Chain A
């Protein structure tokens, strides 16, 4: 948790191997994440983390199903059942009837569900969600967070959610507050 500009998104990006820290290090399995080469860092993002963004960031012109399959495009080996796995991920976010819908035609809540399905389809160890309800109304946002938490729990994954909404933070097992790029509280 933290106010705007406190460094929440930067922290999330650094954890996800997306943004290089100016100082300090990130250790994954005892190794420095940012000592890795671009290819290894990309593999880390592909196989071990899943991102959910505030602005959904679905790829333009693709259907819901194609969006969910995007991580397989860059996988070391594309699974034979890639389409089937993407379909199952969309079923899990209750969008089984929207698989062939172009992403532009989906509602904001549906877009975020597609983004969650995309984050989960590769079965990562951890999901990094950056203000996942920031562009949604309160009711839809609450439903999305509940869905996300439920999905990662049933799959045994971890989730880091960045938010400034105490109601969303309440769903977490552990809450860290940052300000000015530093941890100022933990509960």
Chain B
């Protein structure tokens, strides 16, 4: 079903998304030092994208090559990565990272006592090593989150 409609779907997203962003360009600041202004270039790009999207909607499929349907489970893995990204600031790198590694490892390798032990060792070694390299050697300040000392 999606095979024949994927380009049309992309076209639809381009037309709707492009139009919304085109409309958004009217809220840009007006600058008096350049007659072309802030919106000049984005409007050219958006205009071409909207035109391409409209063509895709009218044309339908561009070719009948091999089609790979997106797999829902892949988005579940992305959700785990996304949760790690979102939670890193509030709970801190040193808590979020081992939790993420154990969760991701078990979701890939399956639940078993052996896998749990392996995941815990991996989490401890990997978190410690990356923390040492980035925080201590390269002086990158990771978010401390829950481990931050109260002022």
A and B physically associate:
no
Question: A interface vs B, CB < 8 Å?
Answer: none
Question: B interface vs A, CB < 8 Å?
Answer: none
